[in-house]
Amino acid sequence: MSLLVGLFFAIGTYLILTKSLLRIILGTSIISHGVHLLILTMGGLKTGGPPLLGLQDLPFTDALPQALILTAIVINFATTALFLVLSYRAYKVLGTDDTDQMRGNHDE
């Protein structure tokens, strides 16, 4: 699991460091998956029953990491959607999706 997280981070970092906007966004998206898996791993992968009342005897799983991940996924979904729209708009207005060509035109 930890190796997978590491792999996701490596791929995501590589993609974020490329020039194309779309690749950057995909990179952030992949890192976010890595982060979510990390929360799951860090919470401890216990094998236990569901955390329900009435099942007193069993050891039960900690439900908090799942709740955190769910919130994080929703937030990440919103930011990714916004980022995609923003970059599409930037592509339309600036005429390029190459971050190298976006820089420093002072005539605006």
Partner 1 sequence: MMNNLIILPIIIPLITGMVMVIFRKNIKLHKILSLTALSASGIIAALLMGENKIDGIQTLNLGGWEPPFGVSMVADMFSSMLLLITSIVSLCCLLYAFRSIGQERESHYFYPLFLFLITGVNGSFITGDLFNLFVCFEVMLISSYVLISLGGTKVQLRESIKYVLTNIVSSFLFLVAIAYIYAITGTLNFAHLSLRVAETGQSGLLTIVSILLLVIFSLKAALFLFFWLPGSYSAPPTAVAAVFAALLTKVGIYAIFRLFTLVFYHEPQVTHLLIGILGAATMIMGAIGAVAHWDIKNILAYNVIIGVGFIIAGLASFSIEGITGSVYYIIHDIIVKALIFLLGGTIISLTGTGKLKDMSGLIRNHPYLGWMFFIAALSLAGIPPLSGFLGKVFITHGTFEAGYYWLGGIGLMTSLMALYSVIKIFMNCFWGETYLSEEMESGTTKGVMVPIACLSLLTILLGLGAEGISVYTDLAVKTLMNPELYIHAVFEGRTAP
List interacting residues with partner 1 (CB under 8 A).
16, 21, 24, 28, 31-32, 35-36, 38-39, 41-44, 64-65, 68, 71-72, 75, 78-79, 82-83, 86-87, 89-90, 93-94, 99, 102-103, 105, 108
Give the residue with the Cβ less far from partner 1, 44 or 50: 44
Give the residue with the Cβ less far from partner 1, 3 or 103: 103
> What is the phi/psi pair of residue 20, to 5°?
-75, 135
CB of 41 to partner 1, least distance (A): 8
First to last CA, the chain: 49
CB of 48 to partner 1, least distance (A): 16
Please name every residue paired with 49 in a beta bridge, in sequence order, or none if there are none: 60
CB atoms under 10 Å from CB of 69, counted, come to 18
CB of 54 to partner 1, least distance (A): 18
CA 27 to chain CA mean position, Å: 8
Amino acid at 9: F
